[in-house]
């Protein structure tokens, strides 16, 4: 019973945050409501017995990724979004389509999924030791591949975010600096 109450409490916070993300017009308000969604989702993970996932949800999502978002919003000095003709078209076409899809998904979930089975706190043997065994034994190759993916993402972010003229100037300086020592050396010999 307590479990259900906690689920409903954090679920309500989660949905309220998601709806608030849509309702706000300023990006920083949307970002803060996304933080609310992520932290309440971490509480839901705890209710499911997934402590490790709850911890990395808070550290990676609510910590690192949201800091990146808020940093970008402040860097670009993003203001409130303006309503345009395109946004009206999107609302007129998008909202009925999404509502239809949502009703279909909800109907399928309620009628097709066997909901007799339940989950409870601590039902999962999800301590970090088991997860580490899976991650570094069964899923070792995907784990290493993700490290390469992260490396490529870092390089891509640096290349994309750096100014193109700054890169060109550095390249030019590098090219120009190369022949100089040879000239100096050649002059000394003569």
Specify whether the CB–CB gap between 10 and 43 falls below 8 A.
yes
173 binds other proteins (CB under 8 A): no
Q: Quote the CA–CA distance of 43 and 62 in Å, as a whole number.
A: 12
Q: Quote the CA–CA distance of 17 and 11 in Å, as a whole number.
A: 10
Between 59 and 172, name the residue whose CB sits nearer to other proteins. Answer: 59
29 to 68, contacts with other proteins by CB under 8 A? 30-31, 34, 37-38, 41, 44-45, 47-50, 52-53, 56-57, 60-61, 64-65, 68
Among 36, 55, 160, 178, binds other proteins (CB under 8 A): 160
Left (φ > 0), alpha (ψ -120 to 50) or beta: where does 49 sit?
Answer: left
Minimal distance in Å, beta carbon 92 to other proteins? 10
Q: Quote the CA–CA distance of 1 and 189 in Å, as a whole number.
A: 91
Q: How many residues bind other proteins (CB under 8 A)?
A: 88
78 binds other proteins (CB under 8 A): yes
Minimal distance in Å, beta carbon 93 to other proteins? 8
Integer distance in angstroms from the first to the last C-alpha of the chain? 93
For residue 34, what are the contacts with CB-CB under 8 A and spacing of at least 6?
Answer: 17, 21, 66, 69
3 binds other proteins (CB under 8 A): yes
- x-or-dash pattern for other proteins, window 97-136, by CB under 8 A? xx--xx--xx--xx--x-xxxxxx--xxxx---xx--xx-
Between 161 and 186, name the residue whose CB sits nearer to other proteins. Answer: 161
For residue 26, what are the contacts with CB-CB under 8 A and spacing of at least 6?
Answer: 78, 79, 80, 81
The dihedral sign for the CA sequence 159, 162, 165, 167: negative
Minimal distance in Å, beta carbon 160 to other proteins? 4
15 binds other proteins (CB under 8 A): yes
Between 110 and 186, name the residue whose CB sits nearer to other proteins. Answer: 110
83 binds other proteins (CB under 8 A): yes
């Amino acid at each position: 019973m307590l479990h259900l109450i906690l689920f409903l409490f954090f679920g309500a916070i989660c949905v309220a945050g998601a709806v608030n993300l849509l309702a706000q017009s300023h990006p920083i308000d949307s970002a803060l409501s996304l933080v609310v969604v992520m932290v309440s989702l971490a509480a839901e993970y705890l209710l499911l017995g997934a402590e490790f996932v709850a911890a990395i949800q808070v550290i990676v999502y609510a910590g690192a990724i949201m800091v990146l978002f808020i940093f970008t919003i402040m860097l670009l000095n993003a203001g409130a979004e303006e309503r345009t003709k395109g946004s009206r078209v999107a609302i007129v076409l998008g909202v009925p389509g999404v509502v239809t899809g949502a009703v279909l998904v909800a109907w399928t979930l309620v009628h097709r999924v066997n909901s007799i089975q339940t989950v409870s706190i601590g039902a999962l043997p999800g301590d970090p030791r088991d997860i580490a065994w899976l991650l570094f034994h069964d899923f070792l190759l995907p784990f290493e591949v993700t490290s390469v993916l992260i490396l490529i993402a870092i390089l891509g972010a640096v290349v994309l975010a750096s100014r193109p003229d700054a890169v060109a100037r550095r390249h030019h300086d590098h090219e120009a600096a190369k022949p100089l020592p040879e000239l100096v050396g050649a002059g000394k010999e003569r």
